[in-house]
Amino acid sequence: MQLRSILHAHRSFSTGDLMVGLGLAALLYLGIQLSTGAPDRFAGPEVNLSPAALPYYALRSLSRMAAAYLLSLSFSLVYGYVAAKNRRAQTILLPLLDILQSIPILSFMPVVVLALVSFLPRGLGVELGSILLIFTSQAWNLTFAFYHGLIIVPKEMREAASIFRLNWWLQFKALEVPFATIGLVWNSMMSWAGGWFFLMAAEQFTLGDKDFRLLGLGSYLKTAAEQGNISALIWGLGAMVAVILLLDQFVWQPILAWADKFKLQTVSASEPPRSWVLDVLSRSWLVERFHAKAIAPLGEAIDRRLVGMVNEGSSSVRRRRGSILGAISTILLIALLAAVIYGGTRAVSLMTTLGWREWLEILSGAVATWLRVLVALFLALAWTLPLGVAIGTNQRLANRVMPVVQVVASVPATALFPILLWLLINVAGGLNFASILLMLLGTQWYLLFNIIAGSMAIPQDLRYTTDNLAIQGWERWRSFTLPALFPYLITGMITATGGAWNASVVSEYVRFATKTESTLGLGSLISQATADANFALLLASTLTMVGIVVVVNRLLWRRLYNLAEERFRWD
Number of helices and strands in the chain (H, E): 27, 5
Does the pLDDT of residue 552 top 50, yes or no?
A: yes
Q: Count the domains in the chain.
A: 1
Domain membership of residue 211 (yes or no) is: yes
| Amino acid sitting at position 337 | L
What is the arithmetic mean of pLDDT over 417-428? 64
Kindly indicate the confidence band of residue 56, based on its pLDDT and cuts at 50, 70 and 90: very high
Residue 307 has pLDDT above 50, yes or no: yes
Q: How does strand 210-213 pair with strand 42-43?
A: parallel
Residue 77 has what pLDDT?
92
| Residue 228 belongs to some domain of the structure | yes
Least confident among 293-302, 471-480, 505-514: 505-514
pLDDT(391) > 80: yes
- In the chain, % of residues over pLDDT 70: 75
Which residues lie below 8 Å from residue 356, measured CB to CB, with a gap of 6+?
none
Q: How many Cα atoms sit within 13 Å of 407 on the Cβ side?
A: 14
Distance separating alpha carbons of residues 270 and 460, to the nearest angstrom: 9
Choice between 510 and 133, residue whose per-residue pLDDT is larger: 133
pLDDT of 363 higher than 80 = yes
CATH of the domain at 381: 1.10.3720.10
> Taking residues 357-364, what's their average pLDDT?
89
Question: Could you tell me if residue 19 is inside a domain?
Answer: no
pLDDT of 141 reads 83
Helix (H) or strand (E) holding 510: strand 509-512
Among the residue ranges 30-44, 187-201, 557-571, the one predicted with the least confidence is 30-44
pLDDT value at position 109? Answer: 64
| Cα(94)–Cα(427) distance, integer angstroms | 42
Report how far apart, in Å, the C-alpha atoms of 322 and of each of 325, 333, 335, 531, 553 are: 5, 16, 20, 49, 35
pLDDT of residue 112 exceeding 60: yes
Nearby residues of 169 by Cβ (< 8 Å), 6 or more positions away: 303, 306, 307, 310
Provide the pLDDT for residue 1. Answer: 40
CA atoms within 13 A on the CB side of 264: 25
The per-residue pLDDT for range 538-550, each reduced to its tens digit, is 888 888 887 887 7
The pLDDT-based confidence of 313 (bands split at 50, 70, 90) is very low
- Asked whether residue 159 is assigned to any structural domain, the reply reads yes
**Is pLDDT at 278 greater than 80 in this prediction?**
yes
**Parent domain of 167:** 3-10+42-263+275-312+325-567
Domain for residue 454, yes or no? yes
- For residue 21, being part of any structural domain is answered with no
Q: What CA–CA distance (Å, rounded) separates 357 from 260?
A: 56
Q: Compute the distance between CA of residue 30 and CA of residue 340 in angstroms, rounded to an integer.
A: 10
> What proportion of the chain, given as a percentage, has pLDDT over 90?
7
Q: Give yes or no for residue 154 having a pLDDT over 50.
A: yes
Give a yes or no: residue 526 inside a domain: yes
Per-residue pLDDT band for 126 (boundaries 50, 70, 90) equals: confident
With a threshold of 0.85, does the pTM exceed it?
no
Contact between 445 and 193 (Cβ < 8 Å): yes
Overall residue count recorded for the chain in this entry: 571
The answer to whether position 30 is within a domain reads no
